[in-house]
Amino acid sequence: MGRGRVPVPGPADPVLTDLTPDQRLRRLELTVTRRLDGLLHGERRGLLPGPGSEPAGSREYRPGEDEVRRMDWSVTARTTVPHIREVDADRELTTWLLVDASPSMEYGTAALDKRELAVAAVATIGFLTAGPGNRLGAQVLTPYGLHRVPARGGRSHLIGLLRGLLAAPRLGGHDPGVGPKPAEVDLSEALGAVHRMANRRGLVMVVSDFLDGLPDDSRSPAAWERPLRRLAARHQLLAVEVVDPRELELPDVGLITLADPETGEHREVWTGDPGLRERYAAAAAAQRDQLRQALRRAGATHLALRTDRDWATDIVRHVHAQRRLALAPAAAQRGGAA
């Protein structure tokens, strides 16, 4: 380099939202196959550890470790000792997705918006569960109703689903006084539709911000809690919560106008008030705690993804944590036997 010359920085790498749909699909596939495939695949057939549905005998019931709903009553009656059913994982996996594409998912202040992050989560499940005999189906909540994608296998089916999610029309803040009012989007009804479609035991993944149907009173159950519990009773259930950092705290940027993406209502807020920012952060933390408690009561495995974080790293950490929890009872049993 000659004296006095200043290196000219090259153009910054485009973020996911700057790319065309096909380029985004290619970026997502490379991320999953390079960063996640070798880390998450291995000893287990499924993406997450959990029970299957093929009978594999019975064993004695261990209080505090086993679920009563898995009780084998016929063996218990014959032996007069409580036994539970043991099952093996299915060799062919059917995965059902419920993807929230309602107006609240169009919000984002980081490199990705919430819908883009939802597509990344769907791509992860799709590419990692793809295999001979495995099938993938989806229900997509849109501002104009519920869109059904039948369960099929193959990479082309997955690519078509992801392309449809990326190209889905966005409401962009509906003005109630202009044009027809969009159809109501109800997360609990969509969960009921998944329950009716998923006849065979498998993996169900729900990707949403779960704000729809969350009551103001934390003592009241969420509208989607009961249908979610019905799914968890039959399937391995993963609830992916999608969050943007501005939903957790407000920055000090002066006077701003906030818009409700679901109703179109506007309100001006002075963010220079530290008391307001503290109350906002406290209310947001309480809301997220309420959501976590509701998902726990419903029996869902909870994975929180943020638009300002590395979603691939968060998924890897979550899956490894779930596998350690699944292996803990077996390790304790071996230690007790020794």
For residues 241 and 135, give the distance between their C-alpha atoms in angstroms, rounded to a whole number.
23
Q: Supply the range of the domain harboring residue 199.
A: 94-174+182-323
Residue 16 confidence (pLDDT) above 60: yes
Overall average pLDDT of the 242-249 stretch: 93
What pLDDT score does 330 carry? 53
Tell whether the model's pLDDT for residue 182 goes beyond 80.
Answer: no
Cβ 93 vs Cβ 53: under 8 Å: no
Considering the domain boundaries, does residue 26 fall inside one?
Answer: no
Residue 155 belongs to a domain: yes
Q: Which band of pLDDT confidence, cut at 50, 70 and 90, is reported for residue 329? A: low
Does 229 share its domain with 265? yes
State the pLDDT confidence band at 65, using cuts at 50, 70 and 90.
low
Same domain, yes or no: 266 and 244:
yes
169 and 59 part of one domain = no
Predicted confidence band at 171 (pLDDT cuts at 50, 70, 90)?
low
154: region left, alpha or beta (phi > 0 left; psi from -120 to 50 alpha): left
Residue 74 has pLDDT above 70, yes or no: yes
pTM comes to 0.76
More confident residue, 151 or 34: 151
Top mean-pLDDT range of 62-66, 219-223, 285-289: 285-289
Task: Single out the residue of 153, 259, 135, 145 nearest to residue 198, CA to CA.
Answer: 135
pLDDT tens for each residue of 101-116:
888 888 888 888 899 9
Long-range contacts, 309-316 (Cβ 8 Å, 24+) = 311/112, 311/117, 311/120, 311/121, 312/31, 312/32, 312/35, 312/36, 312/124, 315/36, 315/40, 315/121, 315/124, 316/35, 316/36, 316/39, 316/40
Do 208 and 259 have their domain in common?
Answer: yes
- The answer to the question of residue 151 being in a domain is yes
In a domain, 337, yes or no: no
Domain count, the chain: 2
Say which residue, 118 or 145, is predicted with more confidence: 118
* Least confident stretch, 81-90, 162-171, 174-183, 282-291: 174-183
The CATH number of residue 241's host domain is: 3.40.50.410
Between 192 and 22, the higher pLDDT residue: 192
Q: Tell whether 104 and 131 lie within a shared domain.
A: yes
Tens of pLDDT, residues 191-215: 999 999 888 888 899 999 998 888 8
- Whether residue 252 sits in one domain with residue 221: yes
Q: Is position 281 within any domain? A: yes
For residue 43, the model assigns a pLDDT of 39
The percent of residues above 90 in pLDDT, for the chain, comes to: 30
Answer yes or no: do 131 and 85 share one domain.
no
- For residues 142 and 265, membership in a common domain is answered with yes
Given this model, what pLDDT does residue 40 score?
Answer: 58
Residue 76 lies in a domain: yes
Q: Is residue 247 part of a domain?
A: yes
Question: Is the same domain home to 230 and 155?
Answer: yes
- For residue 251, being part of any structural domain is answered with yes
Q: Which of 69, 89, 109 is the last residue of a domain?
A: 89
Angstrom distance (rounded) from CA 317 to CA 237: 18
In a shared domain, residues 113 and 84: no
Domain boundary among 30, 65, 89: 89
Mark which of 63, 89, 115 sits at the end of a domain: 89
Same-domain pairing of 58 and 115: no
Strands 255-259 and 266-270: antiparallel
72 and 114 share a domain? no
